[in-house]
Amino acid sequence: MNSQNHFDVRGAGEHTPINIKAITLDDVIAEIVERRSEFNQLSHVPLDMIEKMKTVGIFRASTPKCFGGDALAPGEFLRIVERISEADGSVGWVTAFGSANIYLASLPPATQDLIYANGPDQVYAGGLYPLQPAKEIENGWEVSGHWRFASGCKGADWIGVGIGGTPANGGGAAAGKPLTAVFPAGEVQIVDNWNVVGMQGTGSHDLKLHKKTVGREWTFVRGSASTIDEPLYRYPSVSYQAQVHAAVNLGLARAALDMVIAMSGSTKTVTGAPRLGDRAYYRSELGKAEAMLRSAQAFFYETADAVWASLLAGNPVTLHQANLLRLSATHAAHTCAEVVMKAYRLAGTAAIFKENRLQWIVRDSMVVTQHAFLGEATYDGAGALFAGIEPTMPYP
């Protein structure tokens, strides 16, 4: 997939282009800008937009090449998430799940063959927590329970839920770790209850199941080894998920700065004071904010691209590299949230009005920093590894 243009348009069961007008990523981004208020009101990204995102290859970005996917370099996909997030944080967040098929690569190849039977453009979403006990049955599990934070579930083709505890996690290397059980989306009840002040359009509703059976071949341990022998599936999956969500804040910070830059030459202010561009504090803070964003961005992409290049050269990802992936993601998420707040403060009272997107961006950017993979505890884990000390939590 080219980050600018992608012309293959595929429907269920089709593996050749069909004859309709091709659209590009730029076209999709333009429509997102036009419709982002609609998505916010709906509390999810609707299916027609998901289909257009499929058309430009977003949801085949982490589908293995052996199943017709693109298996994109992480840095390339992260830049796409960042671009879309400039247009809207919620759609950027849903875009990030175009990377989630790396989890599915831990399933047996025969199971993946069924998942991709209708083509490589498959949307996977899930609600892993709170883990629910599962009853062991012949060749699988009987699953019931209630899960939260299933971002993008209303546009998903496949949904995973977390099951844990004895005996659901079995023995050996998986002992004590949660399993994810994968179901066709139509088998999972979505509880329409996503009512928040940030990332409203992500559709991160709750999920419910009652006595649904799942075969062992449809379960995997998150972060376990892939069964697919392609470079992308040797890239650390948990680190990648931290990165795709951090990339949302890179896009939001860029959007916020561009908005406040556009305000700098205004000849009118509420109080009649000098325009923003004539104020020393504005110029100074704008310069600092731009440096913060670009520095975080450089560390973020430099790390991702270096690890990918090392993988392509045949080297396994080291603990040090995985640590830098997590640290650069957390640093980008938190630094960019600070950049957004700088932009908000520089905009003054103009930013408090509902029609001004800056207050919307502030709320979205704060949600990114709350994600479990991007929390403050990451710094503790990173510091422990730098110091040669065992982290006090599962990390990286």
Q: Give the containing element (helix H, strand E) for 289.
A: helix 280-312
* Residue 70: predicted pLDDT: 98
Q: What's residue 268's pLDDT?
A: 56
* Residues near 178 by beta carbon (within 8 Å), at least 6 away in sequence: 128, 131, 162, 163, 164, 169, 221, 222
CATH level 2 (architecture), domain 235-386? Up-down Bundle (1.20)
pLDDT tens, residue by residue, 311-367: 999 999 999 999 999 999 999 999 999 999 999 999 988 888 888 999 999 999 999
Residues 6 or more apart in contact with residue 33 via CB below 8 angstroms: 87, 88
DSSP 137: E
Query: Rounded mean pLDDT of the chain?
Result: 90
* Domain limits, the chain: 124-221, 235-386
Is the peptide bond between 64 and the residue preceding it cis, with omega within 30 degrees of 0? no
The domain defined by 124-221 carries CATH number 2.40.110.10: yes
Residue 371 has pLDDT above 60, yes or no: yes
What pLDDT sits at residue 278? 83
Cβ-based burial of 156 (10 A; exposed 0-12, middle 13-18, buried ≥19): buried
User: What pLDDT, on the 0 to 100 scale, is given for residue 270?
Assistant: 60
Q: Write down the pLDDT at residue 117.
A: 98
pLDDT of residue 1: 41
- Structure tokens belonging to residue 344: 């908000």
Residues 83-130 have pLDDT tens digits of: 999 999 999 999 999 999 999 999 999 999 999 999 999 999 999 999
- Which pLDDT does position 4 carry in this prediction? 40
